[in-house]
């Protein structure tokens, strides 16, 4: 970025600065109001960097898209999840009926719920395929070790999303899947019983289990995934796309 293009670097910015530099690569593409906002937020350098970034030709292969598709699915899941929680009731008495209500009574409820279900299934698949791509192109090597580690955390969090979300409809399949899943956690040496009762909120699967899984699904896991996605993407920007095989 040349000195001429760096409007507002000194901190004293006026509308005139933005207009005077309307020929600069970033400003030139933006209408007045958007330029005004990006200038106030100091986003020009970020955008300059984004626009001038060159994608290496080997990384235009479709196998480099899996992580991005998984992220798009995550965004879809966030939006549809927020919509579903408007009608969902996480209590043992009301949970199943509220899901039936979403699917049969609420306008486009079947649509929102189906998208949430299929995007969730797709995200698990895409995250896994993305991991395979990174593994087989050896993209985890120095200096990208932490990106691999944060990716493993994201894989586990995605699985945890799937496991906790599966219980929420509170039907027979949900109940028994959770029974089996938490039993597996319970078979861990030494801390198994602690894990089991922590997950279930008691010895058995009850309304306490539903409450815990709901909290994990809509509060805890989203917070974790946002932090790790941020780290994951920041490191991609820092290190760039890995080299060709």
Partner 1 sequence: MTRGGFLKWLIGVLTAVAVGGIVYPIVRFLKPPPASTATIGQVANIGPASSFPAGQLTPATVNGRPVIVTNVAGKIVVYSAICTHLGCVVSPSGNTLHCPCHGSEYSAAGTVIHGPATLPLPFYGAKVSGGAVLVGPVTFTRASYPTWYKGQFA
Site residues for partner 1 per CB under 8 A: 83, 86, 97, 100-101, 104-109, 111-112
Minimum Å gap between C-beta 76 and partner 1 is 10
Rounded CA-CA distance 39/33 in Å is 10
Is the CB of 99 or the CB of 216 nearer to partner 1? 99
Is the CB of 119 or the CB of 154 nearer to partner 1? 119
Q: What are phi and psi of 77, to 5 degrees?
A: -65, -40
Minimum Å gap between C-beta 116 and partner 1 is 12
Is the CB of 73 or the CB of 83 nearer to partner 1? 83
In the chain, count H helices and then E strands. 12, 0
CA–CA distances in Å: residue 112 to residues 151, 164, 170, 173, 227? 28, 19, 18, 21, 26
Is the CB of 111 or the CB of 136 nearer to partner 1? 111
Rounded CA-CA distance 105/132 in Å is 41
Is the CB of 107 or the CB of 172 nearer to partner 1? 107
Which of 49, 74, 37, 41 has the alpha carbon at shortest distance from 161? Answer: 74
Minimum Å gap between C-beta 158 and partner 1 is 24
Tokens of 158: 């995605």
Minimum Å gap between C-beta 15 and partner 1 is 26
Helix orientation angle between 95-104 and 109-136, rounded to the nearest 10 degrees: 100
Minimum Å gap between C-beta 43 and partner 1 is 22
């Amino acid at each position: 970025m040349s000195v001429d293009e760096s409007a507002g670097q000194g901190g004293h910015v006026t509308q005139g600065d933005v207009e005077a530099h309307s020929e600069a690569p970033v400003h030139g593409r933006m209408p007045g109001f958007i330029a005004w906002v990006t200038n106030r937020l100091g986003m020009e350098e970020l955008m300059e960097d984004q626009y001038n970034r060159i994608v290496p030709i080997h990384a235009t292969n479709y196998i480099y898209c899996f992580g991005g598709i998984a992220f798009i699915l995550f965004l879809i899941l966030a939006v549809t999840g927020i919509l579903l929680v408007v009608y969902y009731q996480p209590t043992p008495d009301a949970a199943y009926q509220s899901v039936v209500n979403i699917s049969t009574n609420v306008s486009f409820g079947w649509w929102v719920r189906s998208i949430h279900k299929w995007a969730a299934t797709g995200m698990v698949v895409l995250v896994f395929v993305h991991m395979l791509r990174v593994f087989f192109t050896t993209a985890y090597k120095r200096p990208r070790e932490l990106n691999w580690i944060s990716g493993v955390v994201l894989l586990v969090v995605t699985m945890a999303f799937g496991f906790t979300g599966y219980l929420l409809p509170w039907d027979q399949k949900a109940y028994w899947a959770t029974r089996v899943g938490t039993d597996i956690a319970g078979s861990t040496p030494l801390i198994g019983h602690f894990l089991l009762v922590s997950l279930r909120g008691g010895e058995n699967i009850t309304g306490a289990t539903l409450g815990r899984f709901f909290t994990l699904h809509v509060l805890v896991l989203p917070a974790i995934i946002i932090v790790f996605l941020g780290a994951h993407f920041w490191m991609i920007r820092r290190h760039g796309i890995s080299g060709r095989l």
